[in-house]
A and B are shown apart, each in its own frame.
Chain A
Amino acid sequence: MDGLLPELEVVRKDFPILERTLANGRALVYLDSANTSQKPQCVIDAMVDHLEHHNANIARAMHQLGAEATEAFEAGRDKVAAFLGAPSRDEVIFTKNASEALNLVANTLAWKGRRQLGEGDEVVITEMEHHSNIVPWQLLTERTGATLRWFGLTDGGELDLSNVDELLTERTKVVAFTWVSNMLGTINPVAELTRRAHEVGAIVVVDASQAAPQLRIDLAAMAPEERPDVVVFTGHKVVGPTGIGVLWGSSELLGELPPFLGGGEMIETVTMARSTYAPIPHKFEAGTPPIAEAVGLGAAVDYLSHLGLDAIRDHEHAITAYALDGLATVPGLRVLGPLDAERRGGAISFEIDGVHPHDVAQVLDSRGVAVRAGHHCAKPAHARYGVQSSTRMSSYLYTTPGEIDALVEALEYTRSYFKLG
């Protein structure tokens, strides 16, 4: 098959968990990477090495270990900055996850400052967002009296941009959307939408949680009018650990937003009456940050860069096309989202006539095939297509065509188990 990662079997050896077996000696077929990705040995080793040999608190420890820990933590930031092609490494803020990064922006936009939202202002999102990119904006607009609006979706699973001129106006202050949908797989036109939003003076927040694992991001190479103001992603989906997320924001915007959480490390000086704040990135990193996690995330993005994001994208594309073909052979199966692998990422949600997703996932699990069932934190997108839940397979750089075959075969078995012919 064309497009697969070269030496896929060798790459798979980097991921110890892929060798384990499940109940009844079944091999693991892990197709839930959009939920969380598996971790290569180098990430695990980097974190263990840090904890075994360099552990100390950062910045505030005046000893050799403290210096090593600080250096390792800040090296994680440098690696993430390089991974994103960030114009400046100080624009990379570590958070707990993508959700916290989005909440950071949505909260600070509600507070006193140059960017504070108020009545008459509008926030525009889309119907295909993860709940993490919906609820913070609902909270923001409820708190400030601003209005929440959204782009709808086409029947084919793409953003419906036909009313873009009506939605994006001088009242629009924020446009927030996902780069790649975690449910439909759709890849959205980031450059075009960002340009349109900037034309009306809005700031643009892009949720790259599903894009960062599989698309090359090069912020510095983007034309300034097409570059979002904020891009967030979460560590655990890019073969890194849980407990760490990334907020990249332009220096200009991050300078204008007020601090989010108050505490140690985010200050310049503190008196009982008031404080002044550290410059970015520390302004937004109150308290002891996830240190070993930053080390692990640095190793993770280095690993992806070493394989090459273009090669990973090609691999995902080839596997996704193969999976779409395979799924099309299962009677009564309907894919939600674009059917063209070119226009989508590696998460494929589907329905099977006559079997509920929960039951599909249960039968697949009995064959060792791990998928997700439910609304995948995208209830509005499910409602748009008249379904309450779906089954989702999601591949990644370690997925083989053989695993897709195992999925398709397990789906056939599911149909026969529930006596659907």
Chain B
Amino acid sequence: MDLDNLYQDIILDHAKRRLNSGLREPFEAEVHHVNPTCGDEVTLRLHLDGAGDDASIADISYDNQGCSISSASASVMTELLIGKTVAEARPVHDAFLEMMRGKGRVEPDEDVLEDGIAFAGAAKLTARIKCALLSWMAYQDALIQAQEAQHG
């Protein structure tokens, strides 16, 4: 595979800037996810404003140790999802997962995924799919926990 196809400028740029990184208060859920094959880790906090599908994602903060793909992915995800409602975030999340699990055969929709389409190259590399998905899976888990806590 062509390296530049994997390490697109968007990815290298996000990996360096790590938008929204650092752990912040307040939050309703905090989760810790690990990629068991390489040991990459992310701690992610989610702060919702409101309840149910209309709740808005007020903040996603995180602390991660990982490669450029997993760091960039966390950065891109927070940039995409913060400010959206839970309902608005869902199709973006679904589209990212569909692209990453599509073995490089899913044509990503730039209108939905914006910078996220840069990970289409990583989707072709079995060893890197988990890197790109780590923070997205953590968000999904945090959302379930935050909503349970609200109902709780």
- Residues of A bordering B, CB below 8 Å: 23, 356-359, 362-363, 366, 373-375, 379, 382, 388-389, 417-418
B128 within 8 Å of A by Cβ? yes
When chains A and B are docked, how far (Å) is the Cα of A389 from the Cα of B66? 9
**For B68, what are the chain A residues with a Cβ–Cβ distance below 8 Å?**
356, 358-359, 418
A379 to B12, CA, bound (A): 27
Within 8 Å by CB of B1, from A366, A373, A379, A418, lies A366
Please state if A356 and B6 are interface contacts (CB–CB under 8 Å).
no
Between-chain CB contacts (< 8 Å), 18 pairs: A356-B66, A356-B71, A358-B68, A359-B69, A362-B6, A362-B125, A362-B128, A363-B3, A366-B2, A374-B37, A374-B38, A374-B39, A375-B39, A388-B39, A388-B40, A388-B41, A389-B39, A389-B40
| CB <8 Å contact, B65 and A388 | yes
**Contacting pair A366 B38 (CB below 8 A):** no
The listed residue with most B CB atoms (<10 A of its CB), out of A359, A363, A389, is A359
Minimal beta-carbon separation of A349 from chain B (angstroms): 13
Chain A hits for B7, CB < 8 A = 359, 417
Shortest Cβ gap from B40 to chain A (Å): 8
Give the chain A neighbours of B100 by CB distance below 8 A.
Answer: none
Q: In the bound complex, do residue A358 and residue B131 qualify as a contact, i.e. CB atoms below 8 Å apart?
A: yes
Partner of A373, one of B6, B12, B38, B65: B38
Q: Shortest beta-carbon distance, B119 to chain A, in Å?
A: 14
Compute how far the CA of A388 lies from the CA of B37 in the bound complex, rounded to whole angstroms.
Answer: 12
A362: B residues at CB distance < 8 A: 3, 6, 125, 128
Whose C-beta in chain B lies nearest to the C-beta of A366? B3
CA distance A397 to B2 in the complex (A): 31
- Supply 7 further A-B pairs (C-beta < 8 A) apart from A359-B7, A382-B39: A356-B71, A358-B40, A358-B67, A358-B69, A362-B6, A388-B39, A417-B7
How many Å from the CB of A392 to the closest CB on chain B?
12
Mask, B114-140, CB within 8 Å of A = 1, is 000000000001001001000000000
**Whose C-beta in chain B lies nearest to the C-beta of A417?**
B3
What is the 8 Å Cβ interface bit string for chain B, positions 83-120, against chain A (1 contact, 0 not)? 00000000000000000000000000000000000000
Count of A-B residue pairs with CB < 8 Å:
46
CA distance A100 to B42 in the complex (A): 32
Smallest beta-carbon distance A23→chain B, Å: 7
CA distance A378 to B87 in the complex (A): 42
Chain A residues near B128 (CB-CB < 8 A): 358, 362
Task: State in angstroms the CA–CA spacing of A374 and B41 once bound together.
Answer: 12
A356 and B67 contact, CB distance less than 8 A: yes
Kindly name the residue among B39, B65, B68 whose own CB sees the greatest number of chain A CB atoms within 10 A.
Answer: B39
Taking CB atoms, residues of chain B closer than 8 Å to A358 are 38, 40, 66-69, 128, 131
Query: Please, how many angstroms separate the alpha-carbon atoms of A23 and B125 in the complex?
Result: 14
Q: A389: which B residues are within 8 A, CB to CB? A: 38-40
With A and B bound together, what is the CA distance between A362 and B40 in angstroms?
15
The interface residues of chain B lying within 8 Å CB-to-CB of A374 are 37-39
CA distance A374 to B66 in the complex (A): 10
Contacts of B39 in A (CB 8 A): 374-375, 379, 382, 388-389
Instruction: Name the residue on B nearest A355 (C-beta).
Output: B68
A374 and chain B: residue at smallest CB distance? B38
Most buried by B among A357, A358, A382: A358
Complex Cα distance, B128 from A106, in Å, reads 35
B12 contact set on A, CB distance < 8 A: 418
B69 contact set on A, CB distance < 8 A: 358-359
In the assembled complex, the Cα of A382 lies from the Cα of B40 at a distance in Å of 13
- Bound complex: CA of A190 vs CA of B12, how far in Å? 46
Q: With A23-B1, A379-B39, A388-B41 in contact, do A359 and B67 touch (Cβ < 8 Å)?
A: yes
Contacts of A373 in B (CB 8 A): 38
